[in-house]
Copies of this chain bind each other. A is one copy, B any other.
Amino acid sequence: MSTLSTKERILNSTEKLIAEHGFAELSIRKISQRAHTNLAAINYHFGNKQQLIDQVLERRLNNLFDIRKNMLDELNQGDPKKVCNLEQILHAFIAPALFMINDEHQGGRIFMQVLARAYAEQSEALHDLMKDRYTPIIKEFAEAIGLACPDLPRETIFWRFHFIIGALTYTMGHFGATSVARQMPEEEYFEKSVAELIEFAKAALSV
């Protein structure tokens, strides 16, 4: 049916179905139907439904975290104590997430809706992934921001960064919805979102 393997087709159709209709209506029958395969293929390749969902989340999140980490390391040049430019730090954190959304070919926007829903549902697998991979990188970014904003107390940095993550998460999850309401072309609106969010974060950290 396609050049992709059964396993890949299952992962893709799962992602699309979650984005389109949420977790509530997600069934392995619909998944297998959309992936042009059999019911039992899912249990064969992934064990059970939950482990399939976990792998959908992991597949892209690991990628996002790697990109963020690499961009920060490039600024750092391997030295966590190096003082970097605030805008570049924020760019390294924000841009990969939003670029992933705009990567229509790879279904990035779809994934962000999936992620937003899994986050709200407080998925256990997602929580574990966050603790193991996300939190350490968050801390690295917080450290870098602290060095770039020497006038702000450590505690303030924590709070402001927390709120910036909130603004980013909200924007990612509602990107499709808001872009419809705008009158500019979607591509233009996307780039505007990235720029405005970075400007917003800079302003929030400047006082």
Interface size class of A (residues with CB under 8 A): 20 to 34
CB distance from A99 to the nearest CB of B (A): 18
CB of A129 closer than 8 Å to a CB of B: no
| Oligomeric state, in copies | 2
Stretch from A57-65, A76-84, A118-126 that touches the partner: A118-126
Q: Which of A156, A159, A200, A202 has the most CB of B within 10 A?
A: A200
**Which A residues contact B (CB, under 8 angstroms)?**
22-24, 116-117, 119-122, 156, 159-160, 162-171, 173, 177-178, 196-197, 200, 202-207
Other contacts beyond A24-B24, A160-B200: 20, CB < 8 A: A22-B121, A23-B24, A23-B121, A116-B120, A119-B120, A120-B120, A120-B121, A160-B196, A160-B203, A163-B167, A163-B171, A163-B196, A166-B166, A166-B171, A167-B170, A170-B170, A202-B207, A203-B206, A203-B207, A204-B204
